[in-house]
Chain A
Amino acid sequence: MKKYISFFRIRFINGLQYRIAAYAGVATQFAWGFMEILIFKAFYKENPHGFPMEFSQLASYVWLQQAFLALFMLWMYDNDIFLSITSGNVAYELARPLDLYNMWFTKNLAVRLSRAVLRCVPVLAVAVLLPEPYGIAPPVSLFGFFMFIISMILAFLCLVALSMLVYISAFYTLSPMGVRMVAATLTEFLTGSIIPLPFFPEKIVKIISFTPFAFMQNIPFRIYSGNIAGSEMLWGILMQLFWVIALVSAGRLWMARAVKKVVVQGG
């Protein structure tokens, strides 16, 4: 365990070095956040009660999403991993007494967390200060906030487990661009990064709820604002747990097979 922690540490420290990228990211996130909120505002003005979420809930959702973008956006891949597969550097990683799946999983957690840490503070700080209903509302209850944290962690693990499948696919395709793009776009849409899932037609939501996509950012952000609570919340968290286990198991199995077939490129 210690080795993975220390692996996490070096990757985390490494990630914190890219400050300029983080500032640029923060600027983008503000622009996106404001734009989304203004667009939704226009719709809500027409009919404030015709929507599945209250406007303040939606604003919280948008700001949380922007603050923690690095945790939940599939397209924020760790290029090191793709590079290590396509260039053959994975040879060194296989020559360590480590489990490759765990190592990459840890690496991903660290990279994403380091990015999120740098970006979330300014976004959250400003969003808290924004006047109601445009900013982040305080959590509905202490219990709700506690569940929100748990759900955040599970959603994060779930997304990383999903991204692992994309990484492993690089063992087979060698040019991972295609899979990366398709997976990223699909996930962005289906997890509610573009439009929160409650805004989707009911039938489609039903279908999505059979997939892991419904249990990533969709759950914690809605728990925070009280959009889902009670048994629906507990069910959501349980399903998150299920999908984390399912995706990790699938990834581990696939990885074991890929490593057997792996042909380290070059030299």
Chain B
Amino acid sequence: MIELKNISKTFKVARRNAGFREALGALFRRNYTYIQALRDISFTIKDGEMVGYIGPNGAGKSSTIKIMSGILYPDSGECIIDGLVPYRNRREHVRNIGVVFGQRSQLWWDVPVIDSLELLKDIYDIDERVYKNNLEELVELLNLGEIIRTPARQLSFGQRMRCEIAASFFHNPRILFLDEPTIGLDAVSKIAVREFIKKMNREKKTTVILTTHDMQDIEAIAERILLIGRGQILYDGSLSELKTRNSKKKTITLEYDGSGRFSPCDGIALVSRVDGHAVFEVDTSVVSVQEAIKVISQYADIKDLSVTGASIDEIVVSLYEELKI
């Protein structure tokens, strides 16, 4: 159980204009601005939930993760995770959590990955048998066979990230914080990572909190999303609800024969048309999808047709716009 109540955090940032004079001046007098990274953040996450934490860059996602993983002290507010205050009881707290910071590495650069894992075994006092089991399981699930005997520096990015994720799982954490775990991964690795996270959540009831800019991650993993912008929680709810709320627009794509001279009408707009391939946008608050297809089919012989709702990316962008963040 994760509980955040009225968490606020401000950072002090030294700012100056460009140029030599300014740089010299800054030696004697620095101008600080205060950036309120988090203002009055409150939410609760129950055991076994998978939560996607999204928001534009600089919204405060990482700061929240750092507070929840005991690295950062908030200025005010209260954060209690399984009865512990992360930043006050850091060492007890971090025993129960796993973290992956997608832009950093926890593996030892010059030695084979397996050495790093052995070290984790000792750091977390993992039982030999548990370690062996986990190793076997993780190697299989994340396809790490040969990889773990290679020094981290010689691994590809995708291989390394899979190792990082494995490394965060050895001590069977109850809560897993993933800060942009799929950043820079190719499609295959992304899917492997997502499948793995889902499986762990299902089988071990691990609570997963994941920040990402990759909306497919969210779609694949998170049942609930928290949207943060300018340090405030702007949306907290299920993904499907967000989708229905924001998917008044449908896209109809079709392949057709014939001249295809469409005359636009209310609620249906032609987006593009290139040799027998056309894309329409339908505003379902004006005309239903069925109506729209009827109208379109009057103008051409339809060979193929597909209807799609707004992608999650588009929904998020429109949400950002709507909330002005």
Asked whether any CB of chain A lies closer than 8 Å to the CB of B137, the reply is no
Query: Which of B94, B104, B110 contacts A17, CB < 8 Å?
Result: B110
CA distance A13 to B151 in the complex (A): 13
B259-275: CB near A (< 8 Å → 1, else 0) gives 00000000000000000
Asked whether any CB of chain B lies closer than 8 Å to the CB of A6, the reply is yes
- Shortest Cβ distance from residue B118 to the other chain A in the assembled complex, whole angstroms: 7
**Which positions 59-113 of chain A face chain B at CB distance < 8 Å?**
87-89, 91-92, 94-99
B1-37: CB near A (< 8 Å → 1, else 0) gives 0000000000100000000000000000000000000
Query: Which of A5, A6, A87, A95 contacts B71, CB < 8 Å?
Result: A95
Report B-chain residues with C-beta under 8 Å of the C-beta of A5: 122
B64-82: CB near A (< 8 Å → 1, else 0) gives 0010011111000000000
Asked whether any CB of chain A lies closer than 8 Å to the CB of B108, the reply is yes
**Which positions 242-267 of chain A face chain B at CB distance < 8 Å?**
260, 262-264, 266-267
Query: Which of A13, A14, A99 contacts B91, CB < 8 Å?
Result: A99
Report B-chain residues with C-beta under 8 Å of the C-beta of A267: 62, 101, 103-104, 179-180
Asked whether any CB of chain A lies closer than 8 Å to the CB of B125, the reply is yes
Q: Judge whether A264 and B71 touch: CB under 8 Å.
A: yes
Asked whether any CB of chain A lies closer than 8 Å to the CB of B316, the reply is no
Asked whether any CB of chain B lies closer than 8 Å to the CB of A3, the reply is yes
CA distance A14 to B109 in the complex (A): 9
Q: Judge whether A89 and B105 touch: CB under 8 Å.
A: yes
Chain A residues within 8 Å of chain B by Cβ, number: 26
CA distance A94 to B177 in the complex (A): 14
Q: Judge whether A95 and B108 touch: CB under 8 Å.
A: no
Q: Judge whether B94 and A95 touch: CB under 8 Å.
A: yes
Q: Judge whether B124 and A14 touch: CB under 8 Å.
A: no
Q: Judge whether B124 and A264 touch: CB under 8 Å.
A: no
**A3-B123, A14-B108, A89-B104 as given contacts; A97 in contact with B71, CB under 8 Å:** no
- Shortest Cβ distance from residue B247 to the other chain A in the assembled complex, whole angstroms: 31
Q: Judge whether A7 and B99 touch: CB under 8 Å.
A: no
**A97-B91, A267-B180 as given contacts; A262 in contact with B105, CB under 8 Å:** no
- Shortest Cβ distance from residue A205 to the other chain B in the assembled complex, whole angstroms: 38
**A3-B122, A91-B101 as given contacts; A97 in contact with B111, CB under 8 Å:** no
Report B-chain residues with C-beta under 8 Å of the C-beta of A95: 69-71, 94, 97, 99
- Shortest Cβ distance from residue A106 to the other chain B in the assembled complex, whole angstroms: 12
Asked whether any CB of chain B lies closer than 8 Å to the CB of A2, the reply is yes
Asked whether any CB of chain A lies closer than 8 Å to the CB of B214, the reply is no
Asked whether any CB of chain B lies closer than 8 Å to the CB of A130, the reply is no
- Shortest Cβ distance from residue A118 to the other chain B in the assembled complex, whole angstroms: 15
Asked whether any CB of chain A lies closer than 8 Å to the CB of B92, the reply is yes
Asked whether any CB of chain A lies closer than 8 Å to the CB of B216, the reply is no
Asked whether any CB of chain A lies closer than 8 Å to the CB of B119, the reply is yes
Report A-chain residues with C-beta under 8 Å of the C-beta of B104: 87-89, 91-92, 267
CA distance A15 to B198 in the complex (A): 39
Report A-chain residues with C-beta under 8 Å of the C-beta of B92: 97
Asked whether any CB of chain B lies closer than 8 Å to the CB of A150, the reply is no
Q: Judge whether B66 and A91 touch: CB under 8 Å.
A: yes
- Shortest Cβ distance from residue B114 to the other chain A in the assembled complex, whole angstroms: 11
CA distance A2 to B126 in the complex (A): 12
Asked whether any CB of chain A lies closer than 8 Å to the CB of B283, the reply is no
Asked whether any CB of chain A lies closer than 8 Å to the CB of B39, the reply is no
**A92-B104, A97-B94, A263-B11 as given contacts; A7 in contact with B119, CB under 8 Å:** yes
B86-121: CB near A (< 8 Å → 1, else 0) gives 000011101101010101111010110001101100
Report B-chain residues with C-beta under 8 Å of the C-beta of A263: 11, 72
- Shortest Cβ distance from residue B169 to the other chain A in the assembled complex, whole angstroms: 14
Report A-chain residues with C-beta under 8 Å of the C-beta of B103: 266-267
Q: Judge whether B123 and A10 touch: CB under 8 Å.
A: no
Q: Which residue of B lies closest to A87 (CB)?
A: B104
Report A-chain residues with C-beta under 8 Å of the C-beta of B105: 89, 92
**A3-B123, A99-B91, A267-B101 as given contacts; A94 in contact with B118, CB under 8 Å:** no
Query: Which of A6, A262, A266 contacts B118, CB < 8 Å?
Result: A6
Q: Judge whether B123 and A98 touch: CB under 8 Å.
A: yes
Report A-chain residues with C-beta under 8 Å of the C-beta of B73: 260
Query: Which of A10, A87, A98, A99 contacts B115, CB < 8 Å?
Result: A10
Query: Which of B94, B123, B125, B180 contacts A7, CB < 8 Å?
Result: B123
Jot down 28 A-B pairs with beta carbons below 8 A, ordered by A.
A2-B122, A2-B125, A3-B122, A3-B125, A6-B119, A6-B123, A10-B111, A10-B116, A10-B119, A14-B110, A14-B111, A91-B99, A92-B99, A92-B105, A94-B70, A94-B90, A95-B69, A97-B92, A97-B94, A97-B124, A262-B71, A262-B72, A264-B72, A267-B62, A267-B101, A267-B103, A267-B104, A267-B180
Q: 19 additional contacts, CB 8 Å, given A5-B122, A17-B111?
A: A2-B122, A3-B122, A7-B123, A10-B116, A10-B118, A13-B111, A13-B115, A14-B111, A87-B104, A91-B69, A91-B71, A91-B104, A94-B70, A95-B94, A260-B73, A262-B71, A263-B72, A264-B72, A267-B104
| Interface residue ranges, B against A (CB under 8 Å) | 11, 62, 66, 69-73, 90-92, 94-95, 97, 99, 101, 103-106, 108, 110-111, 115-116, 118-119, 122-125, 179-180
Minimum-distance CB pairs A-B, first 7: A6-B122, A92-B106, A97-B95, A95-B99, A94-B71, A3-B123, A3-B122
